[in-house]
Amino acid sequence: MENGEENGMENGEENGMENGEENGMENGGDGMMEPTDPEEAPVVEVDRFSEDAGTLFVRANNDALPGADEPIDFDQAPFITTGLDADGNTVQYYNFDVMPTVPAPIYALFYENGDPVEGQLNIIDVVPGDDGYNDFWHVQKVTVPDDYTANTITSAAALLEHDYDIESTGMIKNCPVVPEGSTASKQHSADDGPQGTVEGWYEGQVVSYLVFEEDSFEAQSGQMPTSPIHVTFNVNPGEDGGGPPSGFMTEEGSDQTHNVVAAARRRPHRQLSGRLRTVGRSAGAPFPFTPFRQFANPRLAVDSA
């Protein structure tokens, strides 16, 4: 859906950087206003670890987590997790925290001739902590007039005020919104996509996100396809201090967890949404798990209910 951009999401940069207009409605191809230069636009402050944004990772429960808008190194614990594959072998996967199964919209702009609007940032209307935020994005293809100038529209609100044709594609992209400067070195296999963050628009401000481009998903009735991931916490949910705040159970002196992914993926660095399931533990008892087919690098996405 990449609209000509290698990262496949960037094309019509997202949400409306209002280009000088507080509501970002500006001009939108109708000659209303001037386009906004992303390099001169304000930047969104992103906090993935606030109580509104986090589930497993909440700063109030763990003051070692990065501060608001501080770049995140996702190659460091607790954001990269060592778990088990189908046969009990060790695998690693990024843990970006749990997400609802309903993806959020991301708007990519195209001209009437089908070409992507070169230089236009994609537009989103939610960031971590907002209701409805998701690291997974349902791509919306927006057709704008051929005389539209890139980055004239910089917010979803401004975009939706125009009578543009918007096609809801079946494509879902995996693009976590993160503070500028955040890194995840296993984003792609070698040379498969952009390293580092990509810029988009959110309410007239520039927002950064990581692009995991190897896998895109087909929406199923507007939702993410999911597969189980079984996890164990140090203290069982329902007990005092139990569940996510207690952390994943690990082997003594090791970062090896007892988390087991349950889906087939053959290529390294692929991403998958997983339905989180908690497996209880008993003191001194070995961790039982059922062998599954091989898998590497899942992503978590769980029902909000």
Q: Which of 62-76, 77-91, 97-111, 200-214 is the least confident region? A: 77-91
CB hemisphere CA count around 208 (13 angstroms):
21
What predicted TM-score, i.e. pTM, was given to this entire model?
Answer: 0.75
| Domain-embedded: residue 1 | yes
In-domain check, residue 191: yes
Same domain, 16 and 144: yes
33 and 167 share one domain: yes
267 and 194 inside one domain:
no
Q: Looking at the structure, tell me whether residues 301 and 256 fall in a common domain.
A: yes
Structural domain containing residue 21: 1-55+101-222
In a domain, 63, yes or no: no
pLDDT at 30: 44
More confident residue, 61 or 269: 61
Q: Are residues 131 and 230 both part of a single domain? A: no
Q: Report the pLDDT value the prediction gives residue 17, as an integer from 0 to 100.
A: 38
Residue 302 and residue 182 share a domain:
no
Asked if residue 66 is part of any domain, the answer here is no
Q: Give residue-wise pLDDT tens across range 88-120.
A: 888 888 888 888 888 999 999 999 999 999 999
Q: Are 12 and 117 in contact (CB under 8 A)?
A: yes
pLDDT reading at 296 higher than 60: no
Is the domain of 268 the same as that of 280?
yes
Quickly state the pLDDT bin for 123 (edges 50, 70, 90): very high
Report if residue 291 sits inside a domain: yes
Q: Are residues 153 and 209 in the same domain?
A: yes
Q: Do residue 230 and residue 216 come from a single domain? A: no
Domain boundary at 161, 192, 222, which?
222
Regarding whether 138 and 151 lie in a shared domain, the answer is yes
One domain, residues 298 and 192: no
DSSP states along 138-199:
EEEEEEE-TTPPTTS--SHHHHHTS--EEEEEEEEEE--EE-TT-B-TTSSSTTSS--SEEE
Looking at residue 91, its amino acid is V
Q: Is 62 inside a domain boundary?
A: no
Residues 138 and 262 in one domain: no
Q: In the predicted model, what is the mean pLDDT of residues 132-159?
A: 96
Q: For the chain, what is the domain count?
A: 2
How does strand 197-202 pair with strand 205-210?
Answer: antiparallel
